[in-house]
Structure 1
């Protein structure tokens, strides 16, 4: 590729110094910028960042204690997961479990160069681990700095690497924006299709349509490579779409008799989440066999089309009703008694065969939209994944400087 040849010529014969990350950066904990509000709205201006996977937790109208990243960008480093984010917009923080990292001297090392280099490091997150990584390990990581004795040339090389990687990132961002627009369009049509304005429909409480079966507890120590297939509550909003036909995790076979299961056709939902929207997120279990569920999950057993139910549970109308039945404590938790009273539409309630046919017709329409927006093998998500893979390949190539003997990254 042309850019690799260009970089090889750019770096031809230049010296490389491997310097500790802690020597090249300063950090600040977000104590001064922590949000006090517990409720957020898209109508507000200032994003609230968390160290967790959600990143942007919501938006607040608080006007004090805002970090001006539009003036001084930072790298947000999650102490516990070692994930990093580039932030160049003003924000407040929700979590204190992160570091706000800046360059100790932009005249010698560009923060964005540091950010891209951090992205080349393998994750040091160990499942079940709960220790802070920045002070313990990351400040000692060795960063390759070209031309350490010639700051001007060093900055030119760093800036060229950043420019190339920014170009890849911008291409991915454009595709992501297109995907976001399509999802917005899809959400609009889904909500319209499931509003049943003027249609022959009866609104029935979930508890009158079926029953909720709570799962049984299993822990990380119970996971094995071969055993009983299970759905852990976290997987519902990280791995599945609106339906699932196989489980990702397994626990010890000897636990089989003590677990509770979702049967094919059940809708599985989680009762906890980082945000209110994640609480009660549902997937239709379409596997051929039953699957065990964690005690932070419920299996909703009913006689309707399972994908019809899970699609309806994604509508803005349903999410607004669900929000009234979420306990906003340290961990957002679903209040199942109130949740079971939420009504959903049952088309042609007096004619079960016609009702099932109408539900299947609506599911078929929404499935086509789902392929465009959510499929990992078709549509824009596939293109975004390919672009991301290409970006990561060239990022790692551009930042793979030769190490002197005995150097530890």
Structure 2
């Protein structure tokens, strides 16, 4: 019997009760750690930049030693198995599962769910919340810098509990759904680990090809080699006529060192007209200016609009190859991010315009473009291996992710009625 047939039989006629998150969970916001408390070692502090979907990423963390602080910080501790959520910035609404053996601490812009029902499987809750990321983002107000209210989250998101009057049966169903979905996530994790090794190889060759000796190139500001550098805007949230249209509208959380062929949110002509959002042509190099993704770079492969947190660089193709600029800015990610200011380390359009790129043979445009094209050809081969959604590992990961999302939505789309019926 196939997995699907088994689940159809298991769920056939299942009674479902929809419960608000506040009925099945408590919620805890993190702690406002002062920078003076940061240490070189200790327990890591989980920030919104570490909550990027699925397992919590503990790269680029600050540390904290609770023995240095008088207040009891035990309630802010995160342990293996905890479900976390980013509450503001570009990663708002993203869910993370803390799978590390050693504990950590939450900062104030990350929250954790505390299931309070013995009849709720923690991984079942995790998978369900993953399916609601876009809805949570809307609850947070959308826009360039959304902020999520814990009370709105706990009231508006509802969890389907199968067979609420039969705890044993309910947990059996939840466990089987978790087993199937975890199988897909484990396969994706293995592919992602291999992809990480490929990316290190790409970074090595990129840094070699884009390192120049004094006098080999002329450094020019992006403003000097562009037709136009602009930002976008956000249609007013809460006005239905502005959203669910046909115009792709890019947010910074969708910028991740790759080509952009579609967007998670679409706006209408009315939304475009009544905001600062505007069409940009294809093949702009786009730099994220706000929040958790600040400094990340992408290329839009279709015409689209963006929010105000995107710097959209329409390059002059008589001077520079847009993919050459993309690779160079990608190599400068850490530097660009370091230019940010404020609590969210934002940069602005003026900073982007002032960024310099190395132009080989600047006095001979034809020779310059030929050299840029040579470098691009080499780097694109590595880039295809690490970011292309049509070839290699990225394609396999994308297919696995779509397969996971298909089964997740199928298995968790309980009808809002007393009886379920067939999954087909």
- What is the TM-score with the length of structure 2 in the denominator? 0.70
Find the partner of 2:79 among 43, 67, 70: 70
Find the partner of 1:85 among 96, 100, 103: 96
Deviation at 1:186, TM superposition (A): 1.4
Find the partner of 2:156 among 137, 145, 158: 137
Is the CA contact (8 Å cut-off) linking 1:242 and 1:283 kept in structure 2? Answer: yes
Aligned positions of 1:296-335 closer than 5 A: 297=311, 299=313, 301-302=315-316, 303-315=319-331, 318-330=332-344, 332-334=346-348
C-alpha separation in 1, matches of 2:35 and 2:174: 40
C-alpha separation in 1, matches of 2:278 and 2:269: 13
Find the partner of 1:111 among 122, 133, 140: 122
CA RMSD of aligned residues (A): 4.7
Partner of 2:225: 210
Partner of 1:220: 235
Question: Unaligned regions of 5+ residues in structure 2, if any?
Answer: 67-72
Partner of 2:5: 5
- What is the TM-score with the length of structure 1 in the denominator? 0.72
Change in Cα spacing, 1:196 to 1:60, as seen in structure 2 (3 Å) is same
C-alpha separation in 2, matches of 1:208 and 1:51: 29
Q: Please list the CA deviations of residues 120-153 of structure 1 after superposition, one character each: whole Å capped at 9, or x if unmatched.
A: 5585354846774323223xx35324474454x6
Partner of 2:70: none
Number of corresponding residues: 387
SS at match of 1:112: helix
Aligned positions of 1:10-409 closer than 5 A: 16=15, 18=17, 20-22=19-21, 25-31=24-30, 33-37=31-35, 46-50=44-48, 54=52, 58-64=60-66, 65=73, 67-71=76-80, 73-77=81-85, 83-89=94-100, 90-96=103-109, 99-106=111-118, 108-119=119-130, 123-125=134-136, 126=138, 128=141, 132=149, 133-138=152-157, 141=158, 143-146=160-163, 148-149=165-166, 151=168, 154-196=170-212, 201-206=216-221, 209-210=224-225, 213-215=228-230, 218-221=233-236, 234=251, 238=254, 241=257, 267-270=285-288, 272-275=289-292, 278-279=294-295, 281-283=296-298, 297=311, 299=313, 301-302=315-316, 303-315=319-331, 318-330=332-344, 332-334=346-348, 336=350, 342-399=355-412, 405=418
Q: Please list the CA deviations of residues 2-27 of structure 1 after superposition, one character each: whole Å capped at 9, or x if unmatched.
A: 223334555678x7462635576332
C-alpha separation in 1, matches of 2:297 and 2:133: 32
Structure whose alpha-carbon radius of gyration is higher: 1
Is the CA contact (8 Å cut-off) linking 2:259 and 2:298 kept in structure 1? Answer: yes
Return the structure number with greater relative CO, CA threshold 8 A, min gap 6: 2
Question: Unaligned regions of 5+ residues in structure 1, if any?
Answer: none
Change in Cα spacing, 1:331 to 1:230, as seen in structure 2 (3 Å) is farther
Is the CA contact (8 Å cut-off) linking 1:348 and 1:354 kept in structure 2? Answer: yes
Change in Cα spacing, 1:341 to 1:253, as seen in structure 2 (3 Å) is closer
Change in Cα spacing, 1:252 to 1:314, as seen in structure 2 (3 Å) is same
C-alpha separation in 2, matches of 1:74 and 1:35: 20
C-alpha separation in 2, matches of 1:120 and 1:253: 26
Deviation at 1:61, TM superposition (A): 1.8
